[in-house]
Amino acid sequence: MTCFSKIFLLLPAKSLHRASFVCKAWFKLINSSNFVEAHILQAEPVVIYLKSVSPPRPKMFSIEDNLSLSKFSRRETANSPVHYLSYVEVQNGEGKVIESNISDFQNILATCNGLVLATRKDTRGLLVINPVTRRVLPLPRGTILLYAECYHSYGFVFSHLSREYKVVHLFRDESKSIACEIISLTTRSWRAVNGPSSEHFHTYFSRKPVAANGSLHWLPCGGGCSCIVSMGIDDEKFYTRILPNRSRRNDRLVEIGGLLSFVTHVVEDTLEIWILKESEGEGWVKRHTITGSGIRNLVPTCMMKRGRELFFVIERENHLCAYDMETLEMRAVEFDGVALWRRHIYFSYLPHINTLASW
Amino acid sequence: MASAPENEKNASAPEKKTLTLKSMINNEEFVVDEHVALQSVTIKNMVDSDCAGDVIPVPTISGEILALVIEYCKNHANPSASEDDLKKADAGIVAKDIYTLIDLVLAANFLDIKGLLEVTSQKIADSIKDLPHQDVREIFGVENDYTPEEEAAVRAEHDWAFEGFP
């Protein structure tokens, strides 16, 4: 069986899910936490987003129906667009949009190990879904003082110490300071924890946090940050760390091989990739410099190809580009021969992996 | 001096040693250079612990499969082979039907040859990833222990996973 499990690890999640119905022993092996964790480590990232489709397709997996709340939810007229959970897979520079028939999201907030955290439609709750196994878990929304999404920031992490998934919610409280509450997917109730100092944060949360090296990290403003704010995933304590240079608007934090990376536009047409080497006590180490015209518009998104390629999005123009860390080449990802990724700019896009992870 | 005879033995050992591998399925024998055969961690452990006689019996692996394994080991023992050459040679070895590949992966696993295990596993994964689970069941020779009722329930609950499959 250990020999076959090596083969299973190489299967994409969808095939693996199907293979789990071959016999009971395979089901047990494929869904065991050891196997799922090993599969997570070698799964190839995709970019997940919501795709508008109009008119809606005949067969859809409605989350609200699945949670048996459909009778309370508003019904759409037959031709209004429906947003389906979809993802971009890239192979040999060719982008492929894979559409699921899963719908009924307001927006996607965060991803972790193949689970997606999203806001539910109409009702103000949250949900977690594994798009491969389609297991859905509704969660209470938590404290909402100001409704607009920009006053809230959600992180989604797995604690290896307590072996549970957690959602971390930062929000502005009445005194304008930043409060923090955490919900565990095991206990499913929110509890308040000491939040970060609000001095570094802008009024709005404009950047999604990134989990790497045991912590969750925020760029506290859209631009001009001199430090990042982080929270230990296990100890839930906040701390700050100075950045190698002040951030600009299109700079982002990206997880690279488990380490935190700061991808920054230092001067016009020059971009640097810094890695945080905490364990060796080295601090920020510069790994790559990329130069070329038009680079200032690139927004770093995630690593693909086992850490070989860094993906960028040109947000306003809906282009996706890949930078090969070995050949040092940048090229546009083409969809059916056209370098254009059609997506609704209102919705988020996030790095994601397809796995059989559960909670 | 306990170590003296051993030193003597090493000194008198010929430059190029060969090993004979014998398939216990059809008694086919293969004479292989020792450094080729030692890519198998299982054989290396046997030789290192002096468990290997003149003929090393290989249980559960047929001569046909053993020949493929030896071909792989020969390719990878050749110091002048480029990475590209090896990739091409590997692709040739795994260009087989799925049943041969399953035998080959089991052989690579038993003989503990990491590289062969990796290329064969990848080829099998690529071949089965788009197959319905009934075909996968047959290929791996697995008995279905779901009752028809259980299987119907699983299918109803996970219908999207079987979309496009009978």
Asked if residue B8 belongs to a domain, the reply is no
Whether residues B151 and A26 touch (CB distance < 8 A) is answered with: no
Contact residues, chain B, for A12 at CB < 8 Å? 129
B140 → closest Cβ in A4, A11, A14? A4
Domains of chain A: 1-42 (no CATH), 43-352 (2.120.10.30)
Give the alpha-carbon dihedral of B149, B150, B151, B157, to 10 degrees. 110
Confidence of residue A91 (pLDDT cuts 50, 70, 90): confident
Would the CB atoms of A23 and B130 count as touching at under 8 Å? no
Question: Band of the pLDDT at B161, cuts 50, 70, 90?
Answer: confident
Q: How far apart are CA B17 and CA B66, in angstroms?
A: 19
Residues A15-49: tens digit of each pLDDT: 999 998 899 999 999 999 999 999 998 888 999 99
pLDDT of residue B114: 94
Q: Are residues B122 and B134 in the same domain?
A: no
What is chain A's Cα-based Rg? 20
Q: Is the bond leading into A55 cis (omega within 30 degrees of zero)?
A: yes
pTM as predicted: 0.86
Nearest CA distance, A13 vs chain B (angstrom) = 10
What residues make up the domain containing B137? 130-166
Instruction: Answer whether residue B119 is part of any domain.
Output: yes
Distance from CA of A11 to the nearest CA of B (A): 6
Asked if B80 and B33 sit in the same domain, the reply is yes
CB B140 within 8 A of CB A4: yes
Is the domain of B58 the same as that of B110?
A: yes
**CA dihedral sign, ordered A24, A26, A30, A34:** positive
Which chain B residues are Cβ-neighbours of A2 within 8 angstroms? Answer: 109
Work out the angle between the directed axes of helices B83-93 and B63-77 (0-180°, nearest 10).
170
- Report the pLDDT averaged over residues A153-159: 96
Cross-chain CB nearest to A23 (options B124, B144, B165): B144
Contact criterion met (CB < 8 Å) for B121 and A23: no
**Would B1 be classed as within a structural domain?**
no
Residue B9 counted as domain residue: no
Chain A residues whose C-beta sits inside 8 Å of any chain B C-beta: 2-4, 6-8, 10-12, 14-15, 17-19, 21-26, 61, 101, 133-134
Q: What chain A residue is nearest to B119 in terms of C-alpha separation?
A: A7
In a domain, B10, yes or no: no
Q: What is the pLDDT of residue B166?
A: 59
Chain-centre distance of CA A154, in angstroms? 10
Number of domains in chain B: 2
Q: Is A26 helix (H, G, I), strand (E, B) or coil?
A: helix
Q: What pLDDT, on the 0 to 100 scale, is given for residue A78?
A: 57
Q: What is the pLDDT of residues B4-45, one digit of tens each?
A: 444 444 545 556 788 999 999 899 999 999 999 999 999 999
Question: Is residue B135 in a domain?
Answer: yes
By Cβ distance, the residue of A6, A10, A23 closest to B145 is: A23
Q: A71: pLDDT confidence band, cut at 50, 70 and 90?
A: very low
Mean pLDDT for chain A overall: 88
Q: Is residue B7 part of a domain?
A: no
Using pLDDT thresholds of 50, 70 and 90, give the confidence band for residue A68.
low
Domain co-membership, B138 together with B158 = yes
CATH code, domain carrying B26: 3.30.710.10
Identify whether residues B113 and B163 lie together within a single domain.
Answer: no
B42 and B86 in a single domain? The answer is yes
Q: Is the pLDDT of residue A209 over 70?
A: yes
Burial grade of A138 (CB within 10 A; 0-12, 13-18, 19 or more)? middle
B154 and B88 inside one domain: no
**pLDDT confidence bin for B91, thresholds 50/70/90:** very high
User: Looking at the complex, does the CB of residue B96 fall below 8 Å from at least one CB of chain A?
Assistant: no
Nearest to A22 among B121, B136, B161 (CB): B136
- CB atoms A18 and B132 under 8 Å: yes
State which of B127, B142, B158 marks the end of a domain.
B127
Instruction: Find the CB nearest A17 among B117, B146, B161.
Output: B161
Identify whether the C-beta of residue B89 lies closer than 8 Å to the C-beta of residue B51: no
Q: Are residues B19 and B90 in the same domain?
A: yes
- Is the pLDDT score of A75 beyond 80? no
Q: Are residues B105 and B146 in the same domain?
A: no
Residues B29 and B48 in one domain: yes
Are A21 and B154 a contacting pair at CB < 8 A?
Answer: yes
Tell me: do B75 and B106 sit in the same domain. Answer: yes
B128 and A15: CB-CB below 8 Å? yes
- In the block, tokens 């051993």 appear at B6
> Which of the pair, A292 or B4, is modelled with greater confidence?
A292
Higher pLDDT, B12 or A197: A197
B-chain residues near A354 (CB < 8 A)? none
> Are residue B118 and residue B50 in the same domain, yes or no?
yes
Å between B82 CA and nearest CA of chain A: 19
Closest partner CB to A10 (pick from B106, B125, B133): B125
Chain B residue with CA closest to A132: the answer is: B161
Residue B3 lies in a domain: no
Q: Indicate whether this complex's ipTM tops 0.85.
A: no
How would residue B156 be classed by pLDDT, with cut points 50, 70 and 90?
confident
Beta carbons of A24 and B117 less than 8 Å apart: no
> Cα distance from B117 to chain A (closest Cα, Å)?
9
